[in-house]
A and B are shown apart, each in its own frame.
Chain A
Amino acid sequence: MKRRDFLKISLILPAFECAKTEGKKLPSYLLCAEAIAEALFPEGRPFNVDVKKTDFIKRMEKSLKVMPQYESFLLKAGLTMIEYMPRYFSFHFKRLSELSLEDRRKYLLGWEESTISLKRIAFKGIKQIICLVYGSLPEVKKEINFAYPCGSYGRTIWEE
């Protein structure tokens, strides 16, 4: 399959799926972000933080809202694509968030180390935002014993 066709299909199918799943509780891009965070930082390996039991989704949603419109759109589109692609381009026939943790890690490793530079770079950008949100969680800060010498200060966007 040509790269251009691959990209077309990868954009069209998630869009189709998105339309189908409207009305569900959480948008697929948020489910996908949570699934990636969980795969990057599985509970107990090494931090004792269960992403699902934290404010991660709420914070991710807030981050997408405060981001510039275009970047936010790109991020949402990228996450939606990653969420649905395993259904069509792997033998799992499931969405990313429905895969087991180990299958998810294997699948995402393919994105992280892809030979297609565009895919690798896009995933790097998505990962950076997810890590920023994950790192802002109080549970994570406590786990790594992180505090600036001047302590925590100022009103944050999470409180607005």
Chain B
Amino acid sequence: MIHKTPYEQKKIEIEGDVCIIGSGAAGGVCAKRLQSAGLKVIVVEEGPYFQPHEFSDDPLTGFKMLYRNCGMQFAQGRPYFPVLTGKCVGGTTTINSAICVRPPEGMLVKWSREFFIPTLSPDSIYPHVETVEREIKVTPVNMSVAGNNNLLVKRGIERLGWRGGPILRNAPDCMGCGVCIFGCPIGAKLSTDLTYIPDASNMGAHIFPLMRAEEFIFEGNTVKGVKGKILSNNGEETGNFEARAKITVLAAGTLISPILLLKNGIKNPVIGKNLTVHPATGVLAIFKEEVKLWEGVPQGYYCDEFIGDGILIETSAVDPAIIFASISGFRKENEKYLKSINRIALAGAMVYDPPSGYVKPKKGIEPQIIYYLKEETFKRLLKAMEAVAKIMFSAGAEMVKPFFTTAPFFNGMGKFKEFLRNAKMMDIEMEGNHPMGTVRMGVSPEISAVDPSGKVHGVKGLYVVDASVFPSALGVNPMLTIMAIASRLSQEILKEFQ
């Protein structure tokens, strides 16, 4: 049952076998797996529950409804950049572009051999990847609804003879509305709020949105559930809850899971550290023909020609209001750029990053994110921008602009490259939308926070199953991997009940 309005009660006390904190990619899958095994599952989620018809196409409304901190969650350090994560039932799966990339075999081999984690080996994970792919109906983008932005980038990649193709997504009936990041209004994106969570609920799980977990219930060294606050739709505290369970599962995401552990006095030098985010940047291009960036699938085509260098190129589309920030300015030429808004195309690239940051508690369970972009990652981003610019020019772009605060549009590769040679790290416009690694998995408590089954070292009854357990950055969009790992670790949790 999904308890949509828990704030109607001042106090909620509930008991079950498993209490899962978070309802995103990891929490949703874990809830279904454990409930279908006959356990009594409780899911507590800090964000509200929305149905597709309740979403809005207005950017600021969308950010307020569905994003943590209204979309104003920033990493401090060098540079200062947004880290967008969802805060609603479905978590980030509700607001992402539905990209489903299989975990690279090389990475799984590295995790299982270098970090000695048998549960993350290819043999252990791929069967779960296949199951999840079937459940969320992963299919390639239908290029007939992809829109001009994707078609232009496809043309550029094909002309260069680079490797690429339509992106695999969990949105088989996508109509190319272009609004994935504000929630799919037609329910075509099979995020966990439309799949795993209702499935678990139909089997008897209790789903509580608007309940913020804050404090673990300890009995000696064993966690026996969680306490926290009931929230109103506006986020005000209206009451208290207590969810008691034999096993507590943290699936609150890379930014919140370590904060909950630290706030509850769980000491381990690794918790909160080793943050990686897959820094992502992009290139804008002005074409002769009409593009209308906002029409079609926001992210529909990829190029993995440089995947060996840790670079994955993907098309990207955003609301024009967001493009305004990049192309408006006080010089005469900005007027010309603004005039071209209908002819602007955009492609982005995300890169592999070594651990470069950490999170620490700020206020309540809100995290303070610190991240220092390393020189090697910055160079990778510059190389990615150069590759994207080549794709755009080969597709017929008249001018291209890298995502740098001070960059103008360039009409040739020569000047573009020269700009990149002198570009300053502080001026790069980037995002880090795939936080990973802050509760790293491993064998020894000296270098990891959870063991290969996901159990927190030194504490009984507490598991972590989200992207925070990744031993390193993944190198590709992580949703499918998070779901597969959560599915695999659910088997380990079930062993506690056998």
Contact = CB atoms under 8 A, between A and B. Distances in A.
A153 interface: yes
Interface in A45-97: 45-47, 63, 66-68, 71
A11 interface: no
B56 A156 contact: yes
B329 A112 contact: yes
B459 interface: no
Interface stretch (B11-19, B320-328, B353-361): B320-328
A100 interface: no
Contacts of A63: 60
A132 B60 contact: yes
Nearest to A62: B60
A153 B56 contact: yes
B59 A68 contact: no
Given A109-B330, A109-B331, A153-B55, A131 B322 contact: yes
A125 B424 CA distance: 18
A142 interface: no
Q: Is the interface of A mostly helix, strand, loop or mixed?
A: helix
Contacts of B64: 66, 157
Interface stretch (B207-215, B299-307, B335-343, B462-470): B335-343
Contacts of A67: 70, 72
B329 A40 contact: yes
Given A41-B338, A131-B328, A148-B294, A153 B70 contact: no
Q: Is the interface of B mostly helix, strand, loop or mixed?
A: loop
Interface string B69-88: 11010000001100000000
B158 interface: no
Contact of B324 (A39, A120, A135, A157): A135
A136 B62 CA distance: 12
A158 B72 CA distance: 19
Q: Bin the interface of chain A by size.
A: 35 or more
Contacts of B176: 149
Nearest to B64: A66
Contact of B427 (A120, A145, A149): A120
Contacts of A128: 322, 325
A46 B406 CA distance: 21
B339 A148 contact: no
Nearest to A75: B72
Given A63-B60, A154-B185, A121 B325 contact: no
Given A132-B325, A149-B177, A68 B70 contact: yes
B330 A108 contact: yes
A10 B245 CA distance: 55
B489 to A, nearest CB: 33
A117 B406 CA distance: 11
Interface residues of B, number: 46
Nearest to B59: A132
A144 B341 contact: yes
A46 B427 CA distance: 27
B79 A148 contact: no
Contacts of A136: 58-60, 321
Nearest to B405: A124
Interface string A112-133: 1100010011001101100111
A151 to B, nearest CB: 8
A19 interface: no
B295 A149 contact: yes
Contacts of A135: 59, 319-322, 324
B60 A66 contact: yes
Nearest to B426: A117
Nearest to B177: A150
Contacts of B324: 131-132, 134-135
Contacts of A156: 56, 58, 60-61
Interface in B451-481: none
Contacts of B321: 131-132, 134-136
Contacts of B57: 148, 150, 152-154
Given A45-B335, A66-B64, A148 B320 contact: no
A106 B319 CA distance: 28
B330 A39 contact: yes
B262 interface: no
B295 A148 contact: yes
Contact of A150 (B59, B179, B330): B179
A24 B430 CA distance: 39
B365 to A, nearest CB: 14
A155 interface: yes
9 contacts: A40-B329, A46-B338, A47-B338, A121-B426, A124-B405, A131-B321, A149-B176, A150-B186, A152-B57
Q: Which 3 A-B residue pairings sit nearest by Cβ, starting from the closest?
A: A135-B321, A154-B56, A131-B324
Given A67-B70, A109-B331, A121-B80, 7 more contacts: A67-B72, A124-B325, A124-B429, A127-B328, A132-B325, A148-B294, A154-B55
